[in-house]
Amino acid sequence: MAETFPLRLADTPSTLTFNADPAREVYREGLFMGYRYYDKKQLPVAFPFGYGLSYTQFKYDELKLTVAGDHVDGQVRVTNTGDVAGTETVQIYVGNQASHIEKPVRTLAGFEQVTLEAGKSATVSFTLDQRAFSWYNPAKATWQLDSGSYLVAVGHDSRDLPLSQQVALTSDQDNAEPITSESYVGDLLHDPRAKQALETSGLAKTFEAIAGGQTTDDQMLLNMPLRAAVMVGATPEQVEAFLKRVN
């Protein structure tokens, strides 16, 4: 299937805005259309994206990924475990765990088809280029690849992915964002440029205490801008000292 079938119309991403104004239609879903929305919201669905029926079954094993310069080469063994011949569409998804941006849980990055007789196996090869791991940065009007970890998952559909593996990619782009009073606290805690300035300004202990909390409030505070740190005990002088040191 090339789309997701929801359990209820109310589960769809456009349910709040569709047909609200007869004069115009506003599309506010952004990246979160189809399976990207249902996966992010962790909603059960009737039929997931990529779902298909067959008279046989397929098993996946021996996933191997190799980072080769500006792309990733992959292989996976597919076995027809049923009694009749069949064709399987091997789907490859990428989860971006490196970028501090609004992003889906995973995105379809490619697919390959293989036809197998009953009981037979075949190794399916695929290549993921740099675009499969990049996101479009409108501020720079270009596709951006960030250094860090990416999860490559392989399987039958967007919800049935039996195999996955992490790959670490290194970007040669200069993607560092300037640190300002609008920078998020959670991002600063993971930014190596900010480590020493956080310590010397006295903000480190305050922010680390928030990061160690498990409540919903603690997690929300990680997404507040630096300028709002005074709400959790920081002083304006500490914030000013941090910005001077880090820049």
**With contact defined as beta carbons under 8 Å apart, do 57 and 25 qualify?**
no
Which of 1, 242, 247 lies closest to 108, judged by CA?
Answer: 1
- What are the sequence ranges of the domains in the chain? 1-45, 58-169, 185-246
Lowest model confidence (mean pLDDT) among 109-118, 123-132, 169-178, 223-232: 169-178
Containing H/E element for 5? strand 5-6
Phi-psi region of 119 (alpha: psi -120 to 50; beta: other; left: phi over 0): left
pLDDT by residue (tens digit) across 183-241?
888 888 888 888 888 888 988 887 887 766 666 666 677 778 888 888 888 889 988 98
Q: Is the pLDDT of residue 51 over 90?
A: yes
pTM: 0.76
Q: How far apart are CA 152 and CA 167, in angstroms?
A: 7
Question: Looking at residue 216, what is its pLDDT?
Answer: 65
The β-bridge partners of 91 are: 111, 155
pLDDT by residue (tens digit) across 55-102?
999 999 999 999 998 899 999 999 999 999 999 999 999 999 999 889
Mean pLDDT of the chain: 90
Mean pLDDT of 158-176: 90
Residue 48 burial (CB count, 10 A): 20
Q: How far apart are CA 26 and CA 241, in angstroms?
A: 44
Q: How confident is the model at residue 28 (pLDDT cuts 50, 70, 90)?
A: confident
Residue 94 burial (CB count, 10 A): 21
**Regarding predicted confidence, which is higher, 35 or 19?**
35
| Correct CATH for 58-169 of 3.40.50.720, 3.40.50.300, 3.40.309.10, 2.60.40.10 | 2.60.40.10
